[in-house]
Structure 1
Amino acid sequence: MATPDRPGFALPLLLLAGFRTLIDDLHAELARQGHPELRPLHGFVLQAVGTAGTTASDLGHRLGVSKQAAGKTVDRLVALGYLERTDDPRDARRKLVRTTPRGLDGLRRSAVIFDDLRDRWCATLGADRVAALEDDLRRVTAADVFRLDVPGWFGT
């Protein structure tokens, strides 16, 4: 039950602040490890491209943005060396977007850093409390909670 000292609107703000803290700490460490140009949106894009690659149109759909918006982000990540465009071996009319070795390195480093950040939260809050928080969030969120269309969801 919401109370004056714990109003209902505070919960989503605290969850967002926790998310923001983790993402900001992740990107600070990625910068120290040689990936200073990666931004939060880039992580969603690299995850959406996946290991098999995708088209710009499919990427836009996965992210909940237009093909043009997806293409603009792909252009930026190609220029930074995280993605590449290649011919689709199944259809010469299509181009695939694929993750480069640099992009895979960024994803691998992100996974390790997230583990380290979780360990820091465990050191601060206690491993049992972090595990309980994760369990509780799983109970109150949908099974398909990991959706890549977060950038589109925040858009207009």
Structure 2
Amino acid sequence: MVEETPGFELPLLLFAGFRSLIDQLHAELARQGHPDVRPAYGFAMQAIGRDGATASELGRRLGVSKQAAGKTADRLEALGYVVRADDPADARRKVIRLTSRGIDALARSAVIFEELRKRWADALGAERVRAMEADLRAMAPLSGFRLDVAGWFGA
């Protein structure tokens, strides 16, 4: 019989699993030519997406100010992961778009995540991993998933 554990351990264990996967992802991304990508940059590139985003949109998607989003975009631009381009719908706005380097980092991330999931399935059993994913979907539906991790720590 499994012994009951204190309630506070559940979020810590979930976070530890998340952190383990993210740390392994970034170590492998570094080996594959993306040593400057940080977790926050990955969230930002996901939030920028295929269609791009303005700094205001990026800030809303990440749960940070327009200025904070702009600083992140500045860093990503300096690293070659995004470019700013005129918005064809409004010349006063700039749209942040992924470069081929940004798309490559995200594509490699997807492949690495598949490998990491396979490692978990090899260690725990494929059925247990599928059941864990189903249980997590039931408790935290993907439709409610938000990228605004930084927003958790705001006032």
Specify the alignment match of 2:77 in structure 1. Answer: 78
2-structure distance, mates of 1:151, 1:87: 28
In the TM superposition, residue 116 of structure 1 has moved relative to its aligned partner by: 0.2
Question: Could you tell me the percent identity over the aligned residues?
Answer: 66
For the pair 1:139 / 2:135, whether they are aligned, the reply is no
CA deviation digits over 1:4-50, x for unaligned, max 9?
85110000000000000000000000000000000000111001101
Secondary structure (helix, strand or coil) at the match of 2:84 reads strand
In the TM superposition, residue 143 of structure 1 has moved relative to its aligned partner by: 4.4
Normalising to structure 1: TM-score of the pair?
A: 0.94
Specify the alignment match of 1:48 in structure 2. Answer: 47
Specify the alignment match of 1:117 in structure 2. Answer: 116
In the TM superposition, residue 146 of structure 1 has moved relative to its aligned partner by: 2.3
Deviates more, 1:140-149 or 1:126-135: 140-149
Aligned pairs (5 A) from 1:6-155: 6-155=5-154
Cα distance, 1:143–1:38 mapped onto 2, change above 3 Å: closer
In the TM superposition, residue 114 of structure 1 has moved relative to its aligned partner by: 0.2
In the TM superposition, residue 144 of structure 1 has moved relative to its aligned partner by: 1.9
Normalising to structure 2: TM-score of the pair?
A: 0.95
Secondary structure (helix, strand or coil) at the match of 2:146 reads coil
Number of positions where the alignment pairs a residue of Structure 1 with one of Structure 2: 154
Matched AA of 2:143: D
Deviates more, 1:136-145 or 1:42-51: 136-145
Matched AA of 1:56: A
CA deviation digits over 1:69-99, x for unaligned, max 9?
0000000000000010001111111111000
Please give the root-mean-square deviation of Cα atoms over the aligned residues, in Å: 1.4
Secondary structure (helix, strand or coil) at the match of 1:93 reads strand
Gaps of at least 5 residues in structure 1 are: none
Deviates more, 1:138-147 or 1:119-128: 138-147
